[in-house]
Amino acid sequence: MFLRNNTPLNRVTNYIINLFLVFILLAILMPIAFMLSASFMSSSEIFSMPYRWIPSRIYLENFYRAVAGNDQSFIFLRNVLNSVVVATTTATLSIMVSCLAGYGLSKFRFRGRNIIFLIIMGRMMIPFEAIMIPMYITAVKLGLQNTYAGLVLPFVLNTFGLFQMRQYLMTFPDDILDAGRIDGLGELGIFWRIVFKNSTPAIATAAILSFRGQWDNLLWPLLLAQKEKMKTIPTYIVKFTEEKYSDEGAMMAVAVLASLPIVVMFLSLSKYFLQGSGMYSAGKE
């Protein structure tokens, strides 16, 4: 595109830009490299000055302690499973709800449409901490403590996902929908066969957004999942920050293990992750 002409001046600028880029990348990746190298070190080696990036000895005990937990219960594995179940279910339900609502809000004219859209968007401005207690009381009264439903339902409505779906579906050609109606498909049929099945990129990005939100969630599972076997990874990790067990090596090992699934997902679905960000820029009204 632009900047492509190879004048000498440009070559110099290019060189400077590349150098700058390398520097920035090093800065961005340094903490991650630190996590990896520290996960193979004993606590005292992590704080050696100057820091040696290569562990003097591969210290695998960290990973054992990370997985076994301080009580050798190996509940970690169950907690990983919980996180997977909760995040996947939330993502699945959330794209259904977002897609339905996004479709309804973008392709149908009805009274209250804009108000509904605006108040749902207003939710983005409420910090979770502010409504945590009434939300908890609601969930308890509905009998959702220590259940997957309780961990999932409050986050099925993903405001961002809904917003993205609406923006995406605004550009969905009306002709195809009308063609479906002419072919005698019911509204649900049109939604399922035409809209849903043709929105894969938007759906995938919304699903990833919602999956990551739940993979990250700390406060809510901490409150609602009181039984060990219902806890999720973030609530497992915070145990390692407890002062009396504070064990920097195992802390980094558990950080590495908790990041593995999401990083694998990121590498295999990178297209959708990156598009997920890109969706914002698609939102031109």
Partner 1 sequence: MKRLILLCLAVLFLAGMYVFAEGSQEAAAVNLSDPVTLTLWTHEDVNRKALEAELIEEFCRQYPNVSVDYQTYPSTKMREILTVAFSADQGPDIFNQSQSVIRQFVVQGRASSLDPEWIGEKTLENVKSRYIPGALEAVELNGEIYGLPLEYTNFCMYLNKGIFRDAGLDAEKDYPKTWEDVLSLSERLVLRNGEIITRRGYDFRYPSYTMQFLPMVEQLGGRLISEDGKSAIVGDEAWLQFFRYMKEWGPTGKNLGGPTYTAARKVFDNNDNEIAMSDSGLYQQGRMKTANPDFFESNDWMIVPFPQWQNAKKEVAGAIACHYYLVNGQIPLARQIWAWRLVDFMLTHSEEYLSRVNLVQPTYSLLNSDTFKAIPYSDVFARDMQKAHLVYYAENSAAINDKFKAAVESAMVLGEDPAVVLSKFRKEVQDIIDSE
Partner 2 sequence: MKSIGIEKKKARWGYVFVTPALLLFLIFSLYPMLNAFYNTFFNIKLLSLRPPKFVGLKNYSYMLSSSGFWNSMKATAIFSLGAFIPLSLFSLIFGLIITTRLRHQKTLQLLFYTPAVLSSVVAALIWMLIFDPRGIGNSVVNFFLRTPGVDHNWLTNTGMLRFSTVTIYLWKYIGYFTIIYVTGIAKVPTSILEAATIAGASAMQTIRLIILPLLRPTTMMVTIVTMLNSLKSFSTQYLFTQRGAPLEPIDVVTLNIYNTAMRDLKISHACVMSVLLFLVMMSLTLVRMKSSEKDVTVY
Q: At closest approach, how far in Å is the CB of 17 from partner 1? A: 36
Helix 61-68 crosses helix 248-268 at what angle (to 10 degrees)? 80
**CB under 8 A: which stretch of 60-68, 74-82, 198-206, 250-258 binds partner 2?**
250-258
One residue of 12, 19, 29, 77 binding partner 2 per CB under 8 A: 29
Return the residues of window 36-55 that contact partner 1 according to CB under 8 A. Answer: 43-44, 47, 49
Q: At closest approach, how far in Å is the CB of 95 from partner 2? A: 12
Q: At which residue do the structure tokens 């990983």 appear?
A: 80
Residue 132 CA to residue 13 CA, distance in Å, equals: 52
In the chain, DSSP assigns E strands to none
Residue 123 CA to residue 158 CA, distance in Å, equals: 10
Q: Is 70 in the site for partner 1 (CB under 8 A)?
A: yes
Q: Is 12 in the site for partner 2 (CB under 8 A)?
A: no
Q: Which does 68 bind (CB under 5 to 8 A by kind): partner 2, partner 1, none?
A: none
One residue of 109, 114, 184, 244 binding partner 2 per CB under 8 A: 109
Q: Is 56 in the site for partner 1 (CB under 8 A)?
A: no
Q: Which does 259 bind (CB under 5 to 8 A by kind): partner 1, partner 2, none?
A: partner 2
Q: Which does 115 bind (CB under 5 to 8 A by kind): partner 1, partner 2, none?
A: partner 1
Q: Is 127 in the site for partner 1 (CB under 8 A)?
A: no
Burial class (CB in 10 A: 0-12, 13-18, 19+), 96: middle
Q: Which does 30 bind (CB under 5 to 8 A by kind): partner 2, partner 1, none?
A: partner 2
Cα end-to-end span (Å), the chain:
27
- The backbone region for 10, taken as left when phi is positive above 0, alpha when psi lies in -120 to 50, beta otherwise, is alpha
Q: Is 246 in the site for partner 1 (CB under 8 A)?
A: yes
Residue 265 CA to residue 34 CA, distance in Å, equals: 21
Q: At closest approach, how far in Å is the CB of 139 from partner 2? A: 8
Task: Give 154's contacts (C-beta < 8 A, 6+ positions apart).
Answer: 135, 139, 220
207-236 footprint of partner 1 as x/- string (CB under 8 A): ---------------xx--xxx--------
Return the residues of window 122-181 that contact partner 2 according to CB under 8 A. Answer: 122-127, 129-131, 133-135, 138, 153-154, 156-157, 162
Q: Is 1 in the site for partner 2 (CB under 8 A)?
A: yes
Q: Which two tokens stand for residue 111?
A: 């009274």
Return the residues of window 147-206 that contact partner 1 according to CB under 8 A. Answer: none
Q: Which does 12 bind (CB under 5 to 8 A by kind): partner 1, partner 2, none?
A: none
Q: Total number of residues binding partner 1 (CB under 8 A)?
A: 29
Residue 266 CA to residue 50 CA, distance in Å, equals: 33
Cα dist from 40 to 33, 74, 125, 146, 269, whole Å: 12, 20, 41, 35, 28
